[in-house]
Structure 1
Amino acid sequence: MKVLMVSWEYPPVVVGGLGRHVHHLATELVEAGHEVVVLSRRPTGTDASTHPTITHISEGVLVVAVAEDPAHFVFGEDMLAWTLAMGHAMVRAGVALGKPGLGDGWQPDVVHAHDWLVAHPAIALAEYFDVPLVSTLHATEAGRHSGWISGTINRQVHSVEWWLANESDSIITCSVSMEDEVTELYGPQLPPITVIRNGIDVTTWNYRQRAPRSGPPRLLFVGRLEYEKGVQDIIAALPRIRRSHPGTTLAVAGEGTQFEWLQQEARTNRVLRSVTFLGNLDHTELLSWLHAADAIVLPSRYEPFGIIALEAAAAGTPLVTSTAGGLGEAVVDGVTGMSFLPGDVEGLTSAVREVLDDPAAAQRRAEAARERLTADFDWHRVAVDTAQVYLSAKRRVRHPLARPDIPQRPLPGR
């Protein structure tokens, strides 16, 4: 099939797990014989004079990276305006694909949207080419805020997500919990929903057995520094863990809006000297930290999937995770890792202590987690399942949509 993917991130522009997901899916679909064009963007903060729109082939994928146009908006300050401007540039670039002499009259069989930020161009291009629109909803605004939508921008984002879901001809979610969430938030007139878990290429994550510990225990967190990731919970648990396991340290890899607040949380809990904030890590650096850690702790309060759990399992790092969303499906408690309820600092403390008290058992769980990856999270399987969604998607008759029902309640716990 001819597939037009629309994503606001694609290498080398990678913000989080979505960019890696789209890259792996696109290249795997090409490997399976499909023709894939990815419509993405140039780096944030650039302009059309220094970073014009470029079209190039990477790993068999035709990548169209559009210039920021106009380059007067700042994502963190003008998010909706920035998103609409990006979408307009993507629409123009997508339409050009179908023009003789520019895109050689290329016509997709399906448009695949990845998340709300590309709702406008994806919906417009699916209508322009008169082909089915498949959307992968990687997360929801309500979910990111514990089910509560408090601010103007939150409500705007929610409404765009609702619009994309209801304009789609088929929806993909990465976990059963996300399927339930999407159905509850955006139903009842939704198209078919298919659960396809994220994949992982285990060959890029060298597995290493844990060497006997020398020195104090080392814990690792990897992810965005946002409230829903629960970093504050592992910081709150650290003093308790250090009482039973003196000298335990925590390394925090990632960036986000809550960096200063988390620093203050570490200061309040009197563990600031035991917590190291690493910023973003490249692949080699991340692998090194995974191999050095006694456990990776992922205390998410909201998590559609949690691809870092797969990456840690592939590297052989013992897993300690909350049961939030997709993490509860990716990690089997007591078998492939240790789990605890979201926000349960006592449960988190107990799970970490169990890993540190019995390294041999932690190693066995890590080995079981690695073995499970090849069967349940293979990218080839993800691509085959996704292509089947493309084949079965049919363009639905469009009807005018009413305004969505938007929850307006304050964000709890803040």
Structure 2
Amino acid sequence: MRVWIVTSELPHEHAGGIGRYVDNFARTLGAAGHEALVLYRSATDTDDRPAPGVRTVGFATRDARLAEGGAARPDEHPAFPYNLLSFGPALAYQTGAELFRLLESGAERPDIIEVQDYAALGYFLLQRKLTESGPLDDIPIVVHMHSAQFDLMQVNQWPRYRFPEYWLGQMEKFCLRAADAVLSPSEFLRSEVQRSLGRDLEISVIPYPFIADYEREPEPGQTGELLYVGRLEYRKGVMGLVQTCARLWDEGLDFRLTMLGGDTDFAPRCKTIGTLLRERYARWIECGRLNLAGTVPFDEVAMHMRRAAVTLVPSLWENFPNTSIEAMAAGRVALVSAQGGQAEMVAEDGRNGFIFDWNTPGDLERQLRRVLTLTPDERVAIGRRAQERIRSLCDPQRVLPRRLEHYEKVRARHLPRLLFPTTTPADLLPPPPPAEPGPQEEPDLLSVVIPFYNLGAYVDETLASVLNSA
């Protein structure tokens, strides 16, 4: 089968979970005798063959040419469409144009195209498939869910209705509705998206394939060494994690938490998460209990993981995180939250790893105490079962047949759409308000708007004051 994968990242340029998945899946396809072409955003225009059966085509974004002039029309500007659109929609537009260029260049046509949900990368591709008669007529497009911005912004407490972010979220929703098929790596992610877009949205669930040495002998790690790998991001649960660890340190428990990963902004406080952690927990950083190590090379991540007794995945919302896959594949003990696909990986608390629930007060603290008392032999035994469990889910030899079967089903049922998709299905639209009898307004009334932020305790007093002033 010939599969084209459209992505915003590959791991040699962007260290993200989507890139890791694409790299693993493309190599899995190529090793099995299929053909994988990966079209991706790159620093420069590239065309490489990194593995048997795998071709990667990178394109440089045109936003670097915004300062250039000399164009008579906006669509003739060398930076087009970045001179007209914000970066996300412009990248989606350029991605669609680059894919059409490949189709028209004589490259062998794909049997199927897969594109990520994040940043609505397939938006203009799907628009052209729905509105034009052309090379995409008989090629199904599958949208693979990872983490859409319309979900991430809500969990990260970003202003979701600010432009252009709001429209990018709407574009992501359109892609999920307009795709010929939608694929998710976890049941959690499927249920979250169906809650937003409607239960009628059909989503298949197949875990990520992950290439690893599943026969590696587990190691116990160093007692008292805890590791977090990922961005310092609010939705990753890092604030609650460090707060819980600080309570245990205050009690005198002896352990160290190392956190690897880049920093991110936290909009409600106009600061980064790293800044907040350094301000609030400076004394634990100074005494060496908390180590904010920042971004490190990938081979150093593996070294830290081998040294740690327990790897933590404390997300408030998650898809199917690579950190959890990597830890379990390496035979490490993982303590994960219930809010994501990582809980589906562990499945049995206390056997393949440990699960806590953010919705249960004190549950993280209880489980931290539990894992800190494990003996080296117990950690090795749990790590071995973790390897077996994650292999049953993510071994490419088990995942690939399911993926190919899914592709074949999508191809077999592929037909032109009769109705143009909408982002909000009819069953989610609010009913129209009932008609009010009589006039809609009363004369001589004054409307009072009371804005408040973090001042809820004063709302009742303010309302009473307004009413008493009449």
Question: What are the ranges of 5 or more consecutive residues in structure 2 without an aligned counterpart?
Answer: 67-81, 266-270, 430-451, 455-470
Residue identity in the other structure for 2:208: N
Q: Greater CA deviation, 326-335 or 393-402?
A: 393-402
Q: Which piece of structure 1 moves more, 246-255 or 80-89?
A: 80-89
For residue 404 of structure 1, report the CA deviation from its aligned partner. Answer: 3.4
Gaps of 5+ in 1: 44-50
The CA deviation at 1:42 is 1.0
Aligned residue for 1:202, secondary structure, equals coil
Shift of 1:93: 2.4
For the structure 1 residues 323 and 377, does the alpha-carbon distance in structure 2 shift closer, same or farther, using more than 3 Å as the test?
A: same
Give the conservation status (yes or no) of the 8 Å contact 1:111–1:122. no
Q: Deviations over 1:134-163 (max 9, x none)?
A: 111112334322398733244223211210
- Verify: 1:137 aligned to 2:140, yes or no: no
Distance in 1 (CA, whole Å) between partners of 2:394 and 2:174 is 30
Q: Output the amino acid matched with 1:95.
A: F
Matched, 1:81 2:86: yes
Higher mean alpha-carbon deviation, 115-124 vs 30-39, is at: 115-124
Aligned partners of 2:40 and 2:219: how far apart in 1? 39
Residues 343 and 205 (structure 1), Cα distance of their counterparts in 2 relative to 1, 3 Å cut? farther
Distance 1:157 1:88, change over 3 A: closer
- Counterparts of 2:181 and 2:403, CA distance in 1: 11
> 1: CA distance between counterparts of 2:213 and 2:5?
25
CA contact (8 A) 2:227 2:310 kept: yes
Alignment of 1:269-284 (within 5 A): 269=281, 270-273=283-286, 274-284=289-299
Match of 1:70 among 43, 63, 70: 63
Q: 1:376 aligns with which of 389, 393, 416?
A: 393
Structure 2 residue aligned with 1:328 = 343
Which one of the candidate residues 46, 54, 61 is aligned to 2:54? Answer: 61
Q: Which moved more, 1:2-11 or 1:256-265?
A: 256-265
Larger Cα-atom Rg: 2
Determine helix, strand or coil for the equivalent of 1:294. Answer: strand
| Cα RMSD (Å) | 3.1
Give the Å deviation of 1:112: 0.6
Residue 64 of structure 1: CA displacement? 0.9
CA distance in 2, matches of 1:334, 1:411: 42
Residue pair 1:337, 1:362 contacting (<8 A) in 2 also = no
Question: Contact between 2:329 and 2:391, CA under 8 Å: does it hold in 1?
Answer: no
- Give the corresponding residue for 1:268: 280
* 1:168 equivalent in alignment to 2:168: no
Query: What residue is the counterpart of 1:219 in the other structure?
Result: 226
Match of 1:193 in 2: 203
CA distance in 2, matches of 1:58, 1:208: 30
Provide the identity percentage.
23
Q: Distance in 2 between matches of 1:151 and 1:137?
A: 22
| Distance 1:97-1:14 versus aligned 2 partners, 3 A rule | same
Note the 1:9-408 alignment, pairs <5 A: 9-43=9-43, 51=44, 53-59=45-51, 60-71=53-64, 81-99=86-104, 102=105, 104-117=106-119, 118-123=121-126, 128-130=135-137, 131-144=139-152, 145-146=154-155, 150-152=160-162, 153-187=164-198, 189-190=200-201, 192-203=202-213, 207-210=217-220, 213=223, 217-243=224-250, 246-258=253-265, 260-269=272-281, 270-273=283-286, 274-331=289-346, 332-342=348-358, 346-359=362-375, 360-393=377-410, 394-402=414-422, 404=424
The total of aligned residue pairs comes to: 393
Per mean C-alpha deviation after superposition, the further-off stretch among 397-406 and 322-331 is 397-406
Between 271-280 and 14-23, report the one with greater CA deviation: 271-280
Change (3 A) 1:61 1:372: same
What is the Cα deviation at residue 341 of structure 1? 0.8
Distance 2:168 2:200 in 1: 19
Which residue in 2 is equivalent to 1:47? none
Structure 1 stretch displaced more, 148-157 or 318-327:
148-157
The alpha-carbon distance between structure 1 residues 232 and 207, as it changes in their structure 2 partners (threshold 3 A), is farther
